[in-house]
Structures are given as C-alpha cells and as structure tokens.
Amino acid sequence: MVGGNAIRGTRVGAGPSGESERGESAPRRRISYWCANRHEAQPSFSMDAEIPDEWDCPRCGLPGGQDEKNPPAAPRTEPYKTHLAYVKERRSDADGEAILAEALERLRQRREI
C-alpha cells in the first residue's frame, strides 16, 4: 500500500488553487523604469496606487527613472578614509610638528626621572 498523503504536491497551508476560488485580482498597470546602465525594470502597481518617481534597478541596484533618455545619475559614493586622513583634515603640518615635539619632550622628561 502506497502512503496515503491526500495533499500530495502542495504545501501545508496552501489555499485553493485557481482564479475562481481566490477571486478577482486588483487591476494593475506596469510602469517602465530605466537606470544609467540602460536596464529596464517593469514593476506592476495597482491602478489607484501612487507611482514613485524612481525605482531601484533589480539587476545593478542603481536608481531608475521613467525617462529612458535621461535616467537618474548614479549616487556618488565617498571613498573609505583612514583615521590618519581624518586627522590630516583637522590638523596642519605645523600643528602636527608641534604636537609631536610636545609628546617627545614629555617622553624625555619621563626618562630623566
């Protein structure tokens, strides 16, 4: 005797299949968005939904706009800065020399004691 699984081929909790059992789906419209890499995305929206000006491209992640000829520019990312780079932004070379001289003087005074 073969196992008597009555819901074979469906997942647990699955509802009835077929449009007639689920009811009518809401009317939809597809809007095209183009990114700077000329990829086209066509998400569907409900007819009464507010359409966003930009949509992220599912292929490359860049923002896409509805104007194919003039897509939005890619966001500018700042390169990673080291701690030393931030310090150099705040201090001039003269300030650095003064701080170094002060620290060396303190070290020399400790060694004399």
Give the number of other Cβ atoms within 10 Å of residue 57's Cβ.
20
39 is in an annotated binding site: yes
Strands 63-65 and 40-41, bridge-based pairing: unpaired
26 is in an annotated binding site: no
60 is in an annotated binding site: yes
77 is in an annotated binding site: no
Q: Distance between CA 99 and CA 87 in Å, rounded?
A: 12
List binding-site positions: 35, 39, 57, 60
List binding-site positions for Zn(2+): 35, 39, 57, 60
